[in-house]
Amino acid sequence: MKVLYFAWVRERIGKTEEVVEPPADVTTIADLVAWLKGRGEEYAYAFENETVIRAAMDQLHVHRDAVITGAGEIAFFPPMTGG
């Protein structure tokens, strides 16, 4: 699946997107975040306060318990404000 990173999540990880193949036991957004955090210091830093990071699956906002099976694209971004 393709994973996209936006704003300071992107800056901390150092890339805008990547294609990943998480293990079979990674079935939810929360699982994916935990798995990504284990991939390196930059991921751990980006997701250090993972409860504030928002996610979208195939361009629809989802919660941390959303099942990612079959997803083509997951995006992570910080909370947004209007102005």
Residue 62 falls inside a structural domain: yes
Distance CA 41, CA 14 (A): 11
Residue 81 falls inside a structural domain: no
Residue 75 falls inside a structural domain: no
Query: Number of folded domains in the chain?
Result: 1
Residue 64 falls inside a structural domain: yes
Q: Three-class SS string for 49-62?
A: CHHHCEEEECCEEE
Domain that holds residue 56: 2-70
| pLDDT of 83 above 60 | no
This prediction has a pTM of: 0.93
Q: What is the pLDDT of residues 39-65, one digit of tens each?
A: 999 999 999 998 899 999 999 999 999
Average pLDDT across the chain, whole number = 94
Distance CA 63, CA 83 (A): 25
Q: Three-class SS string for 6-17?
A: CHHHHHHHCCCE
Identify the pLDDT of residue 26: 97
- In the structure encoding, which two tokens stand for residue 56, read together? 């979208």
Residue 55 falls inside a structural domain: yes
Identify the pLDDT of residue 79: 85
Closest CA to 30 of 59, 68, 70, 2: 68
Identify the pLDDT of residue 64: 96
